[in-house]
Amino acid sequence: MKYKIVCIFTFVLLLVGCTGERFQGINTHQSFVASMNILEPSLTFYDRQGELIANWAFEKAYTGAVLIQQDRVLLYGHQLTEADIYELSSGKKLATIETGIGTTNAYYAVDEQMIFLTNSRSNSLMRYNLYGEPDGELALRNYPMSMIAHEGLLYVVNYKDTVLSVVSIEDLSLQAEWPIEKSSHGFAIVEDTLLIGGHGEGMHSNETVKVLDLASGKELSTMTMPLMPIGFAQKEDELAVISHGSNMLYVTEPTGKPKWQLEVGANPFAVAYFNSHIIVAGYDDNKIYFIQHGHIDETISVDKGPFQLLVRGDS
């Protein structure tokens, strides 16, 4: 009898061993905000009350993540040669994409169901299908990073360059190149304008968000949001911008008219809407903040270096 138990136990252990790394699964109907922490790489999931749902601690030095559809997350690292796709409901790894070192950002174009990765080594944009299979590549300018898709076009900021590249999602062709400031980062599309944030060049700290014409790339106006506005989040009637240099959260109407502002966190890089809350991640203080109507409702300590926020709303 004892022998049987030992045999079964060993078999189960073997099975578990064969399945590879597996994290705690997240219910498909569970809405969450997830903090991508990069100093001690982990992804921590919280529900709308700020309760911890799951904590995925990684061995690999992931520096970013992006949600793909409802139940998948893609994790990449600037110093890693591959990106991994995990299933949220099972916590299992679904696929691995050979990216090569230098992945700076990942973007999921919802409408076209395409995954885009930018690479600072090859200075290129790479397209993958939902299964992580390569589907084309386009050489861009120096250090492509920030991406946003709109009506069949992908707007890519070349971080160490003064050029914004406009790429056709369908045939991966370069449509236009618009002049922008160096070290630009962070995008939002409001009606027919493109908002671009940035750090500023050299020792100069950028204090404004540039408003470009979505069709021509012409700079229409600027919104003053010091210092170094780089994080954007938006919902139908509101725009949230986080400036990490001054720890300021600016909330405006879509027209740019200020609604309120709040000093929050220490060196916050990410902002996101999650149901009725605005979530801000403080990189230096390792906290995420639940903010509503200009007040901090809740502060949650997370692992070291919260750098990105992923949000899955109610399905």
Partner 1 sequence: MKKLTTKIWVLMCSLLVATIAFMYILSNFIYEELYVSDMEQSMIEVGEKLQTMYRGGKVDDALIARIEDFNAYSHFQIFAVRNPRELSACVPFDIDYDTLIGPNEREQLLKGQTVTKVGYEKRFDRPIISVILPFTEQNRLEGIIYLYYPLTKISELANTEVGLLIGGAALFSLCVAFFIAQGLRRIMRPLHEVQQAAEIMSEGNYEARVNVASKDEVGQLAEAFNQMAQAIQQEDEQQKTFLATVSHELRTPISYVKGYSEAIGQNYMTEEEQREAIQLITREASRMERLTNELLQLARTSQEQEKLELYPIVLAETVREVTAILHATAQLKQIDISETLNEELIVLGDEEKLKQILINILENAIRYSPAESNVQITTSIVEHFAMISIKDTGIGIPKEDLSHITERFYRVNKARSRSDGGSGLGLSIVEQLIKQHKGQLTIESEVGKGTCVNVKIPLMEE
Query: What is d(CA 46, CA 237) in angstroms, rounded to the nearest whole number?
Result: 25
199 is an interface residue for partner 1 by CB under 8 A: yes
CB of 245 to partner 1, least distance (A): 4
Q: Which residue has the tokens 């070291």?
A: 304
Shortest Cβ 108–partner 1 spacing (Å) = 21
Contact between 99 and partner 1 per CB under 8 A = no
CA distance 37 to 134: 27
Q: Minimum Å distance from CB 145 to partner 1? A: 8
Told to check if 208 binds partner 1 by CB under 8 A, we report: no
Which CB contacts under 8 angstroms, 24+ apart, belong to 189-197?
189/148, 189/150, 189/214, 190/234, 190/239, 190/254, 191/254, 193/220, 194/148, 194/155, 195/223, 195/232, 195/239, 195/241, 196/146, 196/157, 196/164, 197/225, 197/228, 197/229, 197/230, 197/231, 197/232, 197/241
Q: Which stretch binds partner 1 (CB under 8 A): 83-91, 131-139, 266-274, 290-298?
A: 266-274
Does 290 bind partner 1 (CB under 8 A)? Our answer is no
Pairwise CA distance, residues 180 & 186, whole Å? 12
- Mapped onto helix, strand or coil, the DSSP state of residue 150 is strand
Identified binder of partner 1 from the candidate list 8, 13, 57, 266, rule CB under 8 A: 266
Candidates 87, 247, 262, 281: give the one binding partner 1 (CB under 8 A).
247
14 scored as a contact of partner 1 (CB under 8 A)? no
**What dihedral angle (degrees, nearest 10) is formed by the CA atoms of 231, 245, 35, 51?**
-110
String of DSSP letters for 62-96? --EEEEETTTEEEEE-TT-SEEEEEETTT-BEEEE
User: CB under 8 A: which stretch of 2-10, 121-129, 131-139, 239-247 binds partner 1?
Assistant: 239-247
Q: From the list 75, 285, 300, 312, which residue makes contact with partner 1 (rule: CB under 8 A)?
A: 285
Residue from 118, 120, 123, 252 touching partner 1 (CB under 8 A): that is 120
Q: Exactly one of 35, 42, 44, 63 binds partner 1 (CB under 8 A); which one?
A: 63
Tokens of 290: 């639940």
Q: How far is the CB of 185 from partner 1 (least distance, A)?
A: 7
**Using rule CB under 8 A, residue 244 touches partner 1:** yes
* Residue 197 interacting with partner 1 (CB under 8 A): no
* Closer residue to partner 1 in complex, CB, 132/229: 229
**Residue 43 interacting with partner 1 (CB under 8 A):** no
Query: Is residue 281 a contact partner of residue 288, using CB atoms and an 8 Å limit?
Result: yes
> Is 246 near partner 1 (CB under 8 A)?
yes
User: Are 264 and 240 within 8 A, CB to CB?
Assistant: no
Which tokens belong to 94? Answer: 């679904």
Quote the least distance from Cβ 119 to partner 1, whole Å: 13
- Residue 162 tokens read as 């003064």
Helices (H) and strands (E) in the chain, counts: 1, 28
Work out whether 267 is an interface residue with partner 1 (CB under 8 A).
yes
Write out the two tokens for 208.
Answer: 């404004």
Stretch that binds partner 1, among 5-13, 110-118, 127-135, 238-246 (CB under 8 A): 238-246
Q: Is residue 168 near partner 1 by the rule CB under 8 A?
A: no
272 binds partner 1 (CB under 8 A): no
Give the binding site for partner 1 (CB under 8 A).
38, 63, 120, 143, 159-160, 183, 185, 199-200, 202-205, 227-228, 244-247, 266-267, 269, 282-287, 305, 307
